């Protein structure tokens, strides 16, 4: 192989290694699905809290969590039969720190063709730093066979943040 071919191949190999490492990053470029906009509605995720007291009574509280994570107390005439985490459009009037719900509708999300993920924290387990594992294959010497008698063991690049 001539010098020009080797130089091109080295640059190409470096580009492939950099692209591979960039693809192993933990950032996400996918955007959340867009939901339909309802005029006059407060939109968020339903959070249901159930408290059992020592005297045997139970209290259920409904909250609407917005995108920033702030919660607004919801008061329903009849408690809805909706699971925790349901996206809602809510209409009503404010009464102190609560929103008295006159009407609500589940928010329809547009279908996404991309893969997604969902996670929730473990209860009672101390948090740990994220662990990123990224296998990398690098070709050295233009792909020529190694000069040693035994092959090199495979290695794994492990980075803890």
Strongest mean pLDDT among 9-13, 68-72, 140-144: 68-72
Residue 33: its pLDDT value, please? Answer: 40
Domains and CATH numbers, the chain: 1-21+130-161 (no CATH), 44-106 (2.40.50.430)
DSSP string, 29-91: -PPPPPB---TT-EEEEEEEEEEE-TTS-EEEEEEEE-TTS-EEEEE-SS-----TT-EEEEE
SS3 2: coil
Q: What mean pLDDT is predicted for residues 9-34? A: 53
Phi, psi of 5 (to 5 degrees): -65, -40
Q: Look at residue 28 in the predicted model and tell me its pLDDT.
A: 39
Instruction: With beta carbons less than 8 A apart as the criterion, state whether 141 and 1 touch.
Output: no
CA distance 32 to 30: 7
pLDDT above 80: residue 32: no
In a 13 Å sphere around the CA of 160, the CA atoms on its Cβ side amount to: 2
Alpha carbon distance 73, 99 (integer Å): 6
Residue 15 in tokens = 């580009």
State the pTM of this model: 0.45
Q: What is the mean pLDDT of residues 112-137?
A: 75
Taking the CA atoms of 24, 27, 30 and 33 in sequence, report the sign of the dihedral they define.
positive
What was the pLDDT predicted at 26? 46
Give the pLDDT confidence score for residue 4 in this predicted structure: 59
């Amino acid at each position: 192989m001539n010098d020009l071919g080797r130089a091109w191949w080295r640059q190409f190999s470096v580009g492939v290694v950099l692209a591979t490492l960039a693809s192993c990053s933990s950032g996400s470029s996918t955007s959340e699905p867009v939901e339909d906009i309802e005029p006059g509605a407060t939109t968020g995720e339903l959070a249901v809290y159930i408290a059992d007291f020592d005297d045997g009574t139970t209290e259920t509280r409904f909250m609407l969590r917005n995108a920033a994570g702030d919660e607004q107390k919801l008061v329903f005439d009849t408690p809805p039969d909706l699971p925790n985490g349901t996206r809602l459009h809510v209409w009503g009037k404010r009464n102190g720190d609560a929103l008295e719900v006159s009407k609500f509708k589940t928010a329809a999300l547009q279908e996404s063709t991309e893969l997604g993920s969902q996670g929730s924290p473990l209860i009672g387990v101390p948090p740990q730093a994220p662990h990123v594992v990224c296998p990398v294959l690098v070709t050295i010497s233009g792909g020529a066979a190694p000069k040693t008698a035994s092959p090199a063991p495979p290695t794994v690049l492990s980075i803890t943040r």
